[in-house]
Amino acid sequence: MTEEAVVRQVRYVGPQVFELTLERPAWLRFVPGDCLALFAENGRVSRPYSIASGAHEGEVRFLVRCLPGGEVSPYLASRTPGDRVAVSPPFGWFRPGEHRDKRPFVFVATGTGMAPFFSFLRTEPESRPLACYYGVR
């Protein structure tokens, strides 16, 4: 099952990495750590992208590395405001917010792998002590 979301912005944050911002569809409910499958134009090819926005924000953001020759990322990079993108319902297994004890978190990520941590930090910014180690090239 797929739905559509409207593109608000494509903004490059590095040489090959862009932030894709979609209007949040009314049906979309997610928790930090969830992904959506975003589809290429033909609707047959998709890739999972972790949500980088907070669970209560009015938009949905993703960090995407544009891979030359890729089947989905170049398509997403070429979208302009007002375009529609086919998306799946949310799914995922990484659930940092479900750990209700208050032990500190240690997040380790590189590149676009920071997206689910951004979602957690935007949803529960003061829920517990944490350290974040982020690597970039």
Nearest C-alpha neighbor of 13 from the set 115, 85, 97: 115
> What is the C-alpha separation between 9 and 94, in angstroms, rounded?
26
What mean pLDDT do residues 7-23 have?
A: 95
Quote the number of domains for the chain. Answer: 1
Task: Tell me phi and psi for residue 9, to 5 degrees.
Answer: -165, 145
Query: Whole-angstrom Cα distance, residue 95 to residue 73?
Result: 25
**pTM of the prediction?**
0.87
E-assigned strand segments in the chain: 3-12, 17-23, 35-39, 46-50, 59-65, 84-87, 105-110, 130-135
Domain extent for 92: 3-135
Q: List, in order, residues 6 or more apart from 104 with CB less than 8 Å away.
A: 128, 129, 130, 131
| pLDDT mean over 62-88 | 96
Query: What percentage of the chain has pLDDT greater than the value 70?
Result: 96
| pLDDT tens string 86-128 | 999 999 988 776 666 777 888 888 888 888 888 888 887 677 7
CATH of the domain at 42: 2.40.30.10
